[in-house]
Amino acid sequence: GAGVSQSPSNKVTEKGKDVELRCDPISGHTALYWYRQSLGQGLEFLIYFQGNSAPDKSGLPSDRFSAERTGGSVSTLTIQRTQQEDSAVYLCASSFGNSYEQYFGPGTRLTVT
């Protein structure tokens, strides 16, 4: 079946603009994660959705970052007033219930000029 998909694959934006990154999880997966991977760094947890529960937003670095998950499926990560330090690869992952196994998407490379 289809894996986790993310769009766009690459995004170049000017400093100060807003961007939206999209994640389509595997059908039936109730858990969805967003991570940020800066150059030379590991994966930084951003936010976690599980079913209808309130999301765990503890990793969002500032109030310029927000995420939604509509209908328990597709998720959008929004970064407002982008800064150069927001340049990174943004990875999405999904899992079934509380299963330990995450399935990752290919990521979106965001470049802020």
Partner 1 sequence: AQTVTQSQPEMSVQEAETVTLSCTYDTSESDYYLFWYKQPPSRQMILVIRQEAYKQQNATENRFSVNFQKAAKSFSLKISDSQLGDAAMYFCAYRRFSGTYKYIFGTGTRLKVLA
Asked if residue 1 binds partner 1 (CB under 8 A), the reply is no
Asked if residue 54 binds partner 1 (CB under 8 A), the reply is no
**Residue 16 C-beta: closest distance to partner 1, Å:** 27
Q: Which of 21, 29, 48, 86 binds partner 1 (CB under 8 A)?
A: 48
**Residue 74 C-beta: closest distance to partner 1, Å:** 20
End-to-end Cα spacing for the chain: 37
Short-list 27, 26, 22, 24, CA closest to 11: 22
Tokens of 72: 């328990």
Q: Which of 23, 67, 91, 112 binds partner 1 (CB under 8 A)?
A: 91
Question: Are residues 33 and 93 in contact, defined by beta-carbon separation less than 8 angstroms?
Answer: yes
Strand partners, 108: 90
> Is the CB of 6 or the CB of 82 nearer to partner 1?
6
- CA-CA distance, 12 to 87, in Å (whole number)? 9
Contacting residues toward partner 1, per CB under 8 A: 31, 33, 35, 40-45, 48, 50, 56, 58-59, 89, 91, 93, 98, 100-102, 104-107, 109
